[in-house]
Amino acid sequence: MQSVWTTETLSHVLTPTAIALGNFDGLHRGHRAVIDPILHDPEAQATVVTFRPHPVEYFSGQPRALLTPLAEKQEILASWGVQQLVLLTFDRELAQLTPAAFLTEIVAKHLQARRVSVGFDFCFGRERQGNAELLQKLGQKMGITVTIIPECRLDGERISSSRVRELLLAGQPEQVQRLLGRPYQLMGEVVRGQSLGHKLGFPTANLHLPARKFLPRQGVYCVEVMGEPWPQAQPGVMNLGYRPTVDGQTLTAEVHLLVWQGDLYGQQLWVGLRHFLRPEQKFAGVSALQAQIQQDCQAARDFFQLPLQQLEPT
């Protein structure tokens, strides 16, 4: 598994750097466009610099669910070729820096940046006084090359983290995949549940999800599942919700694999959302629930176009 050096301490930063600056929650195609220019300088550490907590969270005082929590962000960035992730602590001191002070103290002095890449709408400094054009102007005076990436659109639609959130809540994972360039993932460890799925004839892996992960619309999904037990993604069905038919009290993510069978307790799984089948609903009883699960599994088999021989139990 690839890794990326991560630090919250400026004295631990590997220098010199080529940096991409931004919040980068979601790591969609637009973010990748911002990050790509820093990957090609052999004499500098390809570094993504982001803020923790998210500035919106800092100013609002409200916790913010994340499209890409830290562990997920590290893995994606490493797969893109990023060598280092710097988490700047967004506090009163950082928020009060003028644009010039931010560039001088953080970017030039501590990060020793040779190159900076930002999106067209990047703002920085006290009260967001600085923008991408000012950063480029100040950087030129200090010998730092600043690249500004224009707005990224796909089929006329702007690519943004806000739009990804809207589509997830609307239960449209195919559209989310277009904007991300990959399926939206839920990552978590398999923990023991109530074994209800096993009793119904459809054993499930119960995922313990990160507390601040942004969750999509509740319901049933066709999913592809990655993990150490398999070299390739496994097709499955996931229910995300409260299981109202059995009086569930907590939100759960339960994954039933359509082909593979075995013990997954303690394993880390990556579940990619491929297609929304239906919203969660309450059935008249367990028998009706069981019949619906059978229909869901058949719908997922049709979606993945599984060959007939794979449908038989092993």
User: In angstroms, what CA-CA distances link 282 with 7, 122, 195, 239, 298?
Assistant: 46, 45, 19, 13, 20
Position 311 scores a pLDDT of 43
Position 263 scores a pLDDT of: 87
Question: Quick one: pLDDT at residue 309?
Answer: 43
- Sorted by where each starts, the structural domains of the chain and their CATH numbers stand as 5-158 (3.40.50.620), 182-306 (2.40.30.30)
Residue at token pair 């499930």: 204
- 303: buried, middle or exposed (CB in 10 Å: 19+, 13-18, 0-12)? middle
For residue 113, which amino acid is it? A
- Give the pLDDT confidence score for residue 307 in this predicted structure: 72
Element (H, E) at 124: strand 123-124
Q: What angle do CA 78, 31, 82 make, to 5 degrees?
A: 20
3-state secondary structure 185-209: EEEEEEECCCCHHHHHCCCCEEEEC
> pLDDT per position in the chain (314 positions), as tens?
568 999 999 999 999 999 999 999 999 999 999 999 999 999 999 999 999 999 989 999 999 999 999 999 999 999 999 999 999 999 999 999 999 999 999 999 999 999 999 999 999 999 999 999 999 999 999 999 999 999 999 999 999 999 999 999 999 999 999 999 999 999 999 998 766 655 666 888 999 999 899 999 999 999 999 998 898 999 999 999 987 766 666 899 999 999 998 889 999 999 999 999 999 988 878 888 888 999 999 999 999 998 754 443 33
Distance CA(51)–CA(128), nearest Å, equals 14
Q: What angle do CA 238, 262, 1 make, to 5 degrees?
A: 75
Which pairs from 288-292 meet CB under 8 Å and 24+ separation? Answer: 288/245, 289/200, 289/245, 289/246, 290/200, 290/201, 290/202
Report the C-alpha gap between 292 and 76 in whole angstroms. Answer: 35
Per DSSP, helices labelled H in 126-194 are: 132-141, 161-169, 173-180
Find, among 209, 197, 283, 279, the residue nearest to 250 by Cα.
209
Using CA atoms, how far apart are residues 63 and 66, in angstroms rounded to an integer? 9
Phi, psi of 238 (to 5 degrees): -125, 135
Phi, psi (rounded to 5 degrees) for 271: -110, 115
CA distance 181 to 294: 31
Q: What is the per-residue pLDDT for 261? A: 86
96 exposed, middle or buried (CB, 10 Å; 0-12, 13-18, 19+)?
exposed
Locate 20 and state its tokens: 């991409």
For CA atoms 48, 51, 55, 57, the dihedral sign is positive
Q: What is the pLDDT of residue 269?
A: 96
Q: What is the pLDDT of residue 201?
A: 65
